[in-house]
């Protein structure tokens, strides 16, 4: 399953028990990224394959309360189960960079979920250099790193990346952190699922408050005349998420836009996305970019 832990600046680290709960359910690798003060880059340190190593990695961060921190406990689904497959990852297309266990970079990315269509098969793809990559690493290499420079600093692009990945994403850059997906707030820290809780009292649903930023979101509100969404999403999503009702006209006003989170006359489609008129044209442009990149990937 994996779990992402997002700790804002000024908040203490999770308790030892919470840390142990995360590890017990997601014990196939741990890594973190942090930023503080006037650091020009984010520092990624990862590769802990034992609980004691994970604790040591945490303790290696100087004055952690003063840092923004992105942590990830891995439960492997694709690629190798080793130190180089641990999250977070830099925004890079180079396999060597994606597998480095100690580096400084402009952006760190962590993912929770399984990305359909990414991740190779040992028997079918023997000899392919990407075989060592997990689905998250391959998604970053083939898609996110191919976006225009600084595109992921735009919330619309991050929203579309989240929709394309089918999971939850967290980003750390100097001075800022972003999340896409359902994250639960507990004692000032955001968690991507409930495996941080004591198993005895584990909940079957998220407890409030929940940060919702468009889980399984689409391009609601756009018309077939603007773009052939059925063809586009066949390329973007490899036909696995995804029955888009592009001719469905049953839109109704709701409170918040899934992209910007504002009360800006957002609309809901039958597929469950809420996109306001302000965000729609930006999303359309971002979709065209994603379509071009993902079409090249599948060729």
* Confidence (pLDDT) at 211: 36
Confidence of residue 116 (pLDDT cuts 50, 70, 90): confident
Residue 245 has pLDDT above 50, yes or no: no
Better-predicted residue by pLDDT, 236 or 17: 17
pLDDT in tens, 17-29: 999 999 999 999 9
How many angstroms separate the CA atoms of 147 and 292, rounded? 10
Mean pLDDT is lowest, of 80-94, 151-165, 204-218, for 204-218
Give me the pLDDT at residue 170, please.
96
What confidence score (pLDDT) does residue 251 get?
A: 36
Q: Is the pLDDT of residue 239 over 70?
A: no
Q: What is the model's pLDDT at position 286?
A: 80
Q: Which has the higher per-residue pLDDT, 61 or 216?
A: 61
The whole-chain average pLDDT of the chain stands at 78
Mean pLDDT of the region 261-268: 62
Band of residue 126 on the pLDDT scale cut at 50, 70, 90: low
pLDDT of residue 168: 94
- How much is the pLDDT for 163? 85
Q: Assign 147 to helix, strand or coil.
A: coil
Q: What is the largest CA-CA distance in the chain?
A: 57
Q: Which domains does the chain have, with CATH numbers?
A: 3-211 (3.60.20.10), 229-298 (no CATH)
Per-residue pLDDT at 119: 74
- CA dist 165 and 23 (Å) reads 24
Give me the pLDDT at residue 200, please.
45
For residue 252, how many other CB atoms are within 10 A of its CB?
Answer: 8
Residue pLDDT, tens place only, 30-41: 999 999 988 899
pLDDT at residue 295, rounded to an integer: 64
Mean pLDDT of 233-243: 31
CA separation for the pair 217, 144 (Å, rounded): 18
**Whether 13 contacts 41, CB under 8 Å:** no
**pLDDT tens for each residue of 149-201:** 999 999 889 988 988 888 899 999 999 999 998 899 999 999 999 999 876 43
Q: Which residues pair with 44 in a beta bridge?
A: 33, 103
């Amino acid at each position: 399953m994996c779990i992402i832990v997002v700790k804002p600046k000024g908040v203490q680290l999770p308790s030892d028990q919470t840390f142990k709960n995360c590890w017990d359910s997601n014990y196939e690798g741990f890594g973190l990224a942090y930023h503080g003060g006037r650091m020009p880059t984010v520092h990624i340190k990862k590769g802990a394959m034992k609980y004691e190593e994970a604790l040591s990695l945490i303790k290696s961060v100087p004055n952690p309360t003063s840092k923004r921190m992105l942590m990830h406990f891995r439960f492997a689904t694709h690629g190798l189960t080793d130190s180089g497959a641990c999250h977070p990852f830099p925004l890079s297309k180079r396999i060597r960079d994606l597998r480095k266990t100690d580096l400084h970079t402009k952006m760190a990315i962590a993912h929770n979920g399984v990305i359909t269509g990414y991740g190779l098969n040992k028997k079918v793809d023997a000899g392919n250099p990407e075989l060592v990559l997990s689905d998250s690493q391959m998604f970053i290499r083939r898609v996110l790193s191919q976006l225009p420079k600084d595109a992921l600093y735009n919330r619309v692009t991050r929203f579309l990346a989240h929709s394309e990945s089918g999971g939850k994403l967290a980003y750390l850059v100097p001075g800022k952190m972003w999340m896409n997906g359902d994250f639960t707030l507990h004692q000032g820290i955001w968690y991507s699922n409930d495996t941080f809780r004591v198993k005895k009292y584990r909940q079957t649903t998220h407890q409030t408050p929940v940060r919702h930023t468009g889980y399984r979101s689409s391009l609601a509100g756009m018309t077939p005349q603007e773009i052939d969404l059925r063809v586009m999403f066949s390329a973007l999503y490899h036909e696995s998420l995804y029955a888009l009702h592009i001719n469905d006209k049953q839109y109704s006003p709701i409170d918040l836009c899934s992209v910007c989170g504002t009360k800006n006359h957002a609309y809901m489609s039958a597929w469950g996305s809420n996109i306001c008129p302000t965000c729609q044209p930006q999303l359309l442009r971002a979709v065209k970019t994603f379509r071009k990149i993902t079409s090249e990937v599948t060729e």
